[in-house]
């Protein structure tokens, strides 16, 4: 059977089973959405991690005898520590102003902190940590070291909130992963169902062609080719859906979560889409090819 006949066979099978081809395309579209969604989701979580990292800091309260010059000196030294992104000296008046800002929404008459004097607040260092995966541990380590430093009276590692935030990120990541795995299983199950339901017709065709003297490879190739084509179509549709819908979806989600990431989301690159489609096509080719059952070879007379 030459290429023209194989192409004709592919066309005939597609015409004979349009719903099977459509279902196969949809299943591969779902697989593409799962794979692409996982890739984009991983990037989104990394961006959110950076956002969390930008907002993580420790507060080191300084002794009363530490003047501004010495505080600046300490800030300079701490700024050279690898885990530290930025160190800011907070003057007592600044600390009071911040506290007032924070308390304002909760005070009915706006005078809740009227009795407080700036001198009540010690000079402090606000240490922002560099973004990293193990921020809680880093913050705890740094706090431990600072507590023994001269001129530092107390350190608030502020890790409780951070730990809670990171737990939520982990929960979100696990939830996303579970949803993706479930969708992936649905897609695989759909593909298996399609192939099992179509197996009878495919087996009959294979038996006829075997009886006519067709080689196993030529019998299986048309099924492999149409499945590969369906995988390409479904995968292409999936990539298009992600290209159009991912950024608006992510934007809305970040808006609801109150996340303001410093970098814009990165879409799937051309080579990622091309390699993903190639992988789906190869998967389709292999599935269609090997799912074609060949009749058992002849018995002895």
Binding site for other proteins (CB under 8 A): 1-2, 4-5, 8, 12, 16-17, 201, 204-205, 207-216, 297-301
- Calpha distance 271→275 (Å, rounded): 6
Question: Whose Cβ is closer to other proteins: residue 213's or residue 248's?
Answer: 213
Backbone Cα Rg of the chain:
31
Question: Whose Cβ is closer to other proteins: residue 201's or residue 286's?
Answer: 201
How many Cα atoms occupy the beta-carbon half-sphere of 24 within 13 Å? 29
Question: Whose Cβ is closer to other proteins: residue 2's or residue 69's?
Answer: 2
Question: Whose Cβ is closer to other proteins: residue 21's or residue 84's?
Answer: 21
Residue 192: how many other CB atoms lie within 10 Å: 13
Q: Which residues of 92-114 are buried (b: 16+ CB within 10 A; e: fewer)?
A: eebbbeeeeeeeeeeeeeeeeee
- Calpha distance 100→210 (Å, rounded): 86
Question: Whose Cβ is closer to other proteins: residue 200's or residue 251's?
Answer: 200
Minimum distance of other proteins from residue 208's CB (angstroms): 5
Minimum distance of other proteins from residue 230's CB (angstroms): 17
Question: Whose Cβ is closer to other proteins: residue 12's or residue 98's?
Answer: 12
Minimum distance of other proteins from residue 301's CB (angstroms): 5
Minimum distance of other proteins from residue 185's CB (angstroms): 31
- Calpha distance 247→235 (Å, rounded): 19
Cβ atoms 125, 74 nearer than 8 A:
yes
Q: How far is CA 71 from the centre of its chain?
A: 41
Minimum distance of other proteins from residue 199's CB (angstroms): 14
Minimum distance of other proteins from residue 285's CB (angstroms): 21
Residue count of the chain, please give it: 301
């Amino acid at each position: 059977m030459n290429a023209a006949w194989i192409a004709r066979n592919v066309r005939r099978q597609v015409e004979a089973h349009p719903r099977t081809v459509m279902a196969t395309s949809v299943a591969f579209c779902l697989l593409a959405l799962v794979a692409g969604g996982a890739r984009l989701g991983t990037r989104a979580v990394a961006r959110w991690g950076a956002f969390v990292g930008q907002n993580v800091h420790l507060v080191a309260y300084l002794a009363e005898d530490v003047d501004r010059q010495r505080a600046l000196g300490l800030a300079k030294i701490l700024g050279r520590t690898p885990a530290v992104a930025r160190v800011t000296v907070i003057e007592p008046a600044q600390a009071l102003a911040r506290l007032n800002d924070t308390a304002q929404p909760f005070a009915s008459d706006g005078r809740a902190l009227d009795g407080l004097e700036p001198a009540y607040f010690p000079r402090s260092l606000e240490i922002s940590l560099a973004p990293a995966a193990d921020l809680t541990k880093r913050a705890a380590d740094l706090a431990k070291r600072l507590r023994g430093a001269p001129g530092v009276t107390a350190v608030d590692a502020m890790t409780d909130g951070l730990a809670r935030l990171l737990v939520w990120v982990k929960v979100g990541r696990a939830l996303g992963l579970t949803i993706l795995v479930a969708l992936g299983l649905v897609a695989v199950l759909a593909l298996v169902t399609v192939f099992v339901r179509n197996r009878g017709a495919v087996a009959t065709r294979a038996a006829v062609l075997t009886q006519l003297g067709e080689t196993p490879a030529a019998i299986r190739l048309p099924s492999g080719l149409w499945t590969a084509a369906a995988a390409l179509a479904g995968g292409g549709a999936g990539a298009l859906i992600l290209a159009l819908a991912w950024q608006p979806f992510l934007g809305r989600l970040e808006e609801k979560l109150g996340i303001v990431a410093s970098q814009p989301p990165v879409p799937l690159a051309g080579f990622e889409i091309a390699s993903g489609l190639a992988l789906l096509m190869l998967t389709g080719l292999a599935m269609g090819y090997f799912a074609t059952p060949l009749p058992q070879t002849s018995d002895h007379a």
